[in-house]
């Protein structure tokens, strides 16, 4: 136990020091407008040089500092959460490797080195999802890694196209200059959509909740799912002015609406928060498609703070109620875990955009600039509905955590006697309160000019109020009328199952792919490849060697037959 505490303290001090240094460097770089690009030659073979390049500008420094800050809190938090696990050291090594892969991706301006961090994230996330080694974890891990492999193919194909344009780095410049830029933008967009779980690749994100809760807090706040958004921010020049932006706007708006709708019908605590992450990723992608890169990056940073806090609070709750995750049996948690409930609802209010919390500074600005932009009516409607649904499922969690029936408290004792967990919650709670204001001063020294009518200005407030009423009071009133949903059962199933996306991503695709793979196996590996490949070649060589072996054997019969054969040949030649 003493070794565990000391290792956590060393981990905390190291990561926090690097994090604060990166945040300070990012603020100074933004203030001075200076970026540092470091190159060194790893190996030189004749005329071919392998050069490693890293970039330190305000984007990479701020994001790296925030990732290391949240990672330090998650690792310190894991000291209590994973203390009873027999493979605790393996878990910590995997988390360290995961953070290292994310750091390599953040500071890389080169698509080849980005691919190393990108694949590292995919591989280690699979290992962490299957950490508990049961059937549910295995299925979730397979869905996760296969979905992410589609994005890896997009990165690999874009490397060859970007090389045709003059290099692998992100400093391309010049904007769209032909079909090559369009294809690069499309491939990078597909890669970002798979990593950030946009439609139709959304099924893996809730399935990845099979991982331990500290992993969920790290993966779903600032690392894996935000890698796609960060990639598009870095390579935004290949997207500007193309139809890829319009496509991305439509897909991201559909994603945030679908996730918000599904979260209102979900009862698994971790899956509700995962669908909340999916909805916020749709918000980031949509504002990125509108061309506001700094605003998308700002929301990425603020969202990481309160979403990590929300997952950690969920982990404390699940840890106290003996790994049970159904929110219908978690009522009145405030009486047994007051500090956890306060931190959890602080993160919930920040997610809703409560004034002067972290989410308010970015989310309110995103809604206002989207209302000011030249977008169609469907996109505006999806923005409005998604905002109301976000507040609705958030206040649904507020209802079940603050009030509701205290079913668990009567049968088991819950408490907050976890010093490492509660310390991490307190630090992240402070970050969720002041982080938005501090980051807004850093990222936006010159504020946006917002010019809206009173109706559009109050629209977000009205929709949020209606969502709060629907989420909180609707659960109170609907407690005795749950059978009413049976009259619209098919719509409830469709809305609560992410539009059948998990089914389409597993069962149907598996059946189709297995049949196609069986046909290829029969016609290819067991058919033509066997005949013309290694087995056919082996048979030809064996038969030929048998003939040569017979001719070289010291048998009188062979000599007599060969003599007779040559006599016939000579006879026909000379006659």
The tens digit of pLDDT for each residue in 377-396 reads: 888 888 888 888 888 888 88
| Banded pLDDT at 15 (limits 50, 70, 90) | low
CB-CB contact of 439 with 301 (8 Å): yes
Quick one: average pLDDT of 283-307?
A: 88
| Cα–Cα separations (whole angstroms), residue 424 to 93, 254, 415, 428, 573 | 20, 35, 16, 6, 99
Q: Which of 255-264, 408-417, 448-457 has the lowest mean pLDDT?
A: 408-417
pLDDT of residue 412: 54
Separation of alpha carbons 115 and 104, rounded Å: 10
Q: What is the mean predicted confidence (pLDDT) over 265-269?
A: 83
More confident residue, 391 or 446: 391
Does the pLDDT value for residue 134 go beyond 50? yes
- For the chain, the average pLDDT equals 78
Indicate the SS3 state at residue 43.
strand
| 401, pLDDT greater than 80 | no
Print burial letters for 515-544: b (CB count within 10 Å at least 16), e (below 16).
Answer: eeeeeeeeeeeeeeeeeeeeeeeeeeeeee
Residue 40 gets which letter from DSSP? E
Average the pLDDT over 500-527 and give the result.
Answer: 67
| Weakest mean pLDDT among 4-8, 369-373, 422-426 | 4-8
Do 339 and 105 contact (CB within 8 A), yes or no? no
Q: What is the pLDDT of residue 5?
A: 47
- Confidence grade of residue 162 (pLDDT, cut at 50, 70, 90): confident
Tell me which DSSP letter residue 131 carries.
Answer: T
Per-residue CA distances from 244 to 166, 174, 378 (Å): 22, 17, 18
Structure-block tokens of residue 63: 């994001």
* Mean pLDDT of all residues in 335-360: 85
pLDDT value at 88 more than 70? yes
pLDDT winner (highest mean) among 27-31, 439-443, 544-548 = 439-443
Lowest pLDDT segment from 51-55, 264-268, 413-417: 413-417
Over residues 26-79, the pLDDT tens digits come to 666 666 667 788 887 777 777 667 777 888 888 888 888 888 888 888 888 888
What pLDDT, on the 0 to 100 scale, is given for residue 410?
45
| Contact (Cβ atoms closer than 8 angstroms) between residue 311 and residue 274 | no
pLDDT for residue 333: 76
Looking at residue 409, its pLDDT comes to 46
3-state secondary structure of 418: coil
Give the H or E element holding residue 37. strand 36-45
Tell me, what's the pLDDT at 176? 47
**Model pLDDT, residue 30:** 64
Average pLDDT over residues 365-378: 84
pLDDT higher than threshold 60 for residue 306 = yes
SS3 of 45, please? strand
Counting beta carbons within 10 angstroms of the beta carbon of residue 104, is it exposed (0 to 12), middle (13 to 18) or buried (19 or more)?
middle
Say whether pLDDT at 481 is over 50. Answer: no
Higher local confidence (pLDDT), 276 or 46: 276
533 vs 129, higher pLDDT: 129
Question: Comparing C-alpha atoms, which of 116, 76, 83 is closest to residue 97?
Answer: 116
Q: Picking from 3-12, 47-56, 417-426, which range would have the lowest pLDDT averaged per residue?
A: 3-12
pLDDT of residue 484: 57
Percent of the chain whose predicted confidence (pLDDT) is above 90: 0
Q: Is the pTM of this model over 0.85?
A: no
Please check the confidence at residue 2 and state whether its pLDDT lies above 50. Answer: no
Q: Which tokens in the block code for residue 553?
A: 């054997």
- Residue 1's pLDDT is 43
Q: What is the pLDDT of residue 3?
A: 44
Helices in 444-523 by DSSP H: which ranges? 454-468, 474-477, 489-496, 501-503, 509-520
- Residue 480's pLDDT is 46
438-450: average pLDDT: 77
Is residue 510 pLDDT above 60, yes or no?
no
**Mean pLDDT of all residues in 108-115:** 83
When pLDDT is cut at 50, 70 and 90, the band that residue 476 belongs to is low
pLDDT over threshold 80, residue 231: yes
Please give the share of the chain, as a percent, with pLDDT higher than 70: 81
User: How many CB atoms are located within 10 Å of the residue 298 CB?
Assistant: 24
Residues 354-370 have a mean pLDDT of: 86
**In which band, very low, low, confident or very high, does the pLDDT at 11 lie, cut at 50, 70 and 90?**
low
Other CB atoms within 10 Å distance of the CB of residue 373:
15
| Residue pair 399/473 in contact by the 8 Å Cβ criterion | no
């Amino acid at each position: 136990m003493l070794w565990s505490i000391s290792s956590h303290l060393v981990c905390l001090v190291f990561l926090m020091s690097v994090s604060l240094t990166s945040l300070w460097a990012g603020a100074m770089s933004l203030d001075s407008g200076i970026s540092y690009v470091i190159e060194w030659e790893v190996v030189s073979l004749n005329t071919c040089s392998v050069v490693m390049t890293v970039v330190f500008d305000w984007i990479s420094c701020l994001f790296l500092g925030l990732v290391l800050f949240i990672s330090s809190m998650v690792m310190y938090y894991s000291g209590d959460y994973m203390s009873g696990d027999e493979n605790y050291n393996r878990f910590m090594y995997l988390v360290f490797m995961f953070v290292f892969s994310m750091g390599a991706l953040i500071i890389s301006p080169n698509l080849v080195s980005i691919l190393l961090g990108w694949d590292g994230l995919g591989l280690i996330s699979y290992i962490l999802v299957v950490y508990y080694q049961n059937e549910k974890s295995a299925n979730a891990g397979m869905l996760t890694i296969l979905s992410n492999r589609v994005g890896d193919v997009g990165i690999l194909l874009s490397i060859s196209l970007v090389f045709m344009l003059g290099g692998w780095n992100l400093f391309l410049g010049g904007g769209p200059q032909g079909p090559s830029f369009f294809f690069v933008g499309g491939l990078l967009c597909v890669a970002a959509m798979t990593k950030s779980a946009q439609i139709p690749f959304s099924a893996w994100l809730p399935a990845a909740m099979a991982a331990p809760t500290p992993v969920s807090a790290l993966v779903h706040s600032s690392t894996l799912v935000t890698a796609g958004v960060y990639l598009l921010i870095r390579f935004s020049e290949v997207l500007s002015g193309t139809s890829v932006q319009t496509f991305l706007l439509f897909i991201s708006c559909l994603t945030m609406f679908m996730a918000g709708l599904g979260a209102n019908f979900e009862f698994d605590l971790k899956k509700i928060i995962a669908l909340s992450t999916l909805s916020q990723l749709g918000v980031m992608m949509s504002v990125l498609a509108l061309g506001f890169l700094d605003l998308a990056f700002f929301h990425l940073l603020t969202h990481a703070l309160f979403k990590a806090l929300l997952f950690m609070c969920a982990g404390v709750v699940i840890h106290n109620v003996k790994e049970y995750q159904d929110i219908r049996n978690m009522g009145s948690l405030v009486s047994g875990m007051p500090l956890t409930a306060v931190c959890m609802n602080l993160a919930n209010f920040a997610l809703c955009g409560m004034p002067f919390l972290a989410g308010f500074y970015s989310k309110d600005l995103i809604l206002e600039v989207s209302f000011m932009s030249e977008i169609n009516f469907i996109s505006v409607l999806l923005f409005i509905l998604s905002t109301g649904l976000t507040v609705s499922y958030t206040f649904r969690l507020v209802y079940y955590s603050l009030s509701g029936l205290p079913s668990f408290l009567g049968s088991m004792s819950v408490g907050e006697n976890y010093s490492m967990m509660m310390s991490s919650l307190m630090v992240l709670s402070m970050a969720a309160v002041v982080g938005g204001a501090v980051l807004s001063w850093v990222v936006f020294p010159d504020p946006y000019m917002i010019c809206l009518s009173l109706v559009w200005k109050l629209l977000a407030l009205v929709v949020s109020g209606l969502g709060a009423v629907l989420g909180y009071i609707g659960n109170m009133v609907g407690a005795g009328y749950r059978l009413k949903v049976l009259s619209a059962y098919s719509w409830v199933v469709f809305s609560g199952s992410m539009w059948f996306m998990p089914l389409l991503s597993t069962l149907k695709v598996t059946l189709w792919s297995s049949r196609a793979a069986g046909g290829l196996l029969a016609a290819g590996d067991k058919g033509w490849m066997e005949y013309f490949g290694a087995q056919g070649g082996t048979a030809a060589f064996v038969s030929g060697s048998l003939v040569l072996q017979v001719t070289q054997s010291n048998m009188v019969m062979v000599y007599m037959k060969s003599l007779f054969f040559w006599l016939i040949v000579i006879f026909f030649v000379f006659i």
